[in-house]
C-alpha cells in the first residue's frame, strides 16, 4: 500500500475543503474506503467530498439506510455513500446488493466502515484514513492500494 498524500488539518472547514478538492481528482468508477474512529471526521469529510462533486443536497452518513445515492451533476453517474456500520460481513453486504455500487463505472462510491467488506473490495480501492490528533487536528492519509 503506497501513501499518496498526507496532510494535517486544523479545523472542520479545512477537512471539508481538502475532501472537496480530493474528490475532484477522482475518475468515475473510483471506490474510496473511508477509515477512521468514531468522531474522527468521516461525516465532515463526506460532506466536503460530495460538495466537491457538485452535490448541493445536505449530506450526512447513511447509518440507518446503509446507502445514500446522489446524482452527479451533468453526468449519468451517482455518488454512492455507503455506511456499512450495521453490516456484519461481505455475505450480508452482497445480499444487500453492494456489488451494484462498487462496480458502477460511471459513479463514485464512498464507503464508511470498509473493513466490513475488505474481502470483496476492488483491488484498486483508494483508502482515506483520518486520525484524531488533538481537539481540532486530524491527520488525513490517502493510500493507493496496489493492484494485485
Ligand atoms: N480538523 C478537523 N477535521 C474534521 N473534524 C474536526 C476537526 N477538528 C474538529 N473536528 C470535529 O470533529 C467532529 C467529527 O465528527 P464526524 O461526525 O465527522 O465524525 P465521524 O467520523 O463521522 O464519527 P462517527 O463514526 O461517530 O459517525 C466534528 O464535531 C468536528 O467539528
Ligand atoms: Mg459519521
Domain membership of residue 7 (yes or no) is no
Number of domains in the chain: 1
141 beta partners: 6, 129
Q: Which ligand 1 atom sits closest to the C-alpha of 41?
A: 18
Percent over 90 (pLDDT), the chain = 89
Q: Which three cell numbers stand for residue 12?
A: 472542520
Region 84-113 average pLDDT: 95
Task: Please tell me the residue having the least CA distance from ligand 1 atom 17.
Answer: 43
Domain membership of residue 121 (yes or no) is yes
Domain membership of residue 79 (yes or no) is yes
The single residue listed with the C-alpha cell 460532506 is 47
Task: Please tell me the residue having the least CA distance from ligand 1 atom 30.
Answer: 12
First to last CA, the chain: 11
Q: What is the band of 9 on the pLDDT scale with cuts at 50, 70, 90?
A: very high
- Å from CA of 40 to ligand 1 middle: 5
Contacts of 81 (CB under 8 A, 6+ apart): 46, 50, 59, 61, 62, 67, 68, 69, 70, 110, 112
Residue-range definition of the domain harbouring residue 42: 12-138
| CATH number (domain holding residue 104) | 3.40.50.300
- Å from CA of 60 to ligand 1 middle: 12
Domain membership of residue 147 (yes or no) is no
Domain membership of residue 6 (yes or no) is no
Q: Tell me the whole-structure pTM to 2 decimals.
A: 0.95
Q: What is the band of 133 on the pLDDT scale with cuts at 50, 70, 90?
A: very high
3-class secondary structure per residue, 7-19: EEECCHHHHHHHH
H-state helical runs in 32-117: 42-52, 90-96, 98-102
Domain membership of residue 115 (yes or no) is yes
Domain membership of residue 25 (yes or no) is yes
Domain membership of residue 146 (yes or no) is no
Ligand 1 pocket, CB under 6 A: 9-12, 14-15, 36, 38-44, 61, 136-138
The predicted-structure confidence for 45-63, as pLDDT tens digits, reads as follows 999 999 999 999 999 887 7
Amino acid at each position: 500500500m503506497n501513501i499518496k498524500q498526507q496532510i494535517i488539518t486544523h479545523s472542520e472547514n479545512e477537512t471539508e475543503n481538502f475532501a472537496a478538492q480530493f474528490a475532484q481528482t477522482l475518475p468515475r468508477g473510483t471506490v474510496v474506503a473511508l477509515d477512521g474512529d468514531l468522531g474522527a471526521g468521516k461525516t465532515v469529510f463526506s460532506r466536503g467530498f460530495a460538495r466537491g462533486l457538485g452535490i448541493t443536497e445536505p449530506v450526512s452518513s447513511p447509518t440507518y439506510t446503509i446507502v445514500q445515492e446522489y446524482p452527479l451533476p451533468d453526468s449519468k453517474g451517482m455518488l454512492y455513500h455507503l455506511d456499512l456500520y450495521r453490516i456484519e460481513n461481505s455475505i450480508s453486504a452482497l445480499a444487500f446488493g453492494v456489488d451494484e455500487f462498487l462496480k458502477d463505472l460511471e459513479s463514485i462510491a464512498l464507503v464508511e466502515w470498509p473493513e466490513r467488506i475488505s474481502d470483496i473490495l476492488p483491488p484498486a480501492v483508494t483508502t482515506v484514513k483520518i486520525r484524531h490528533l488533538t481537539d481540532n487536528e486530524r491527520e488525513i492519509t490517502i493510500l493507493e492500494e496496489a493492484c494485485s
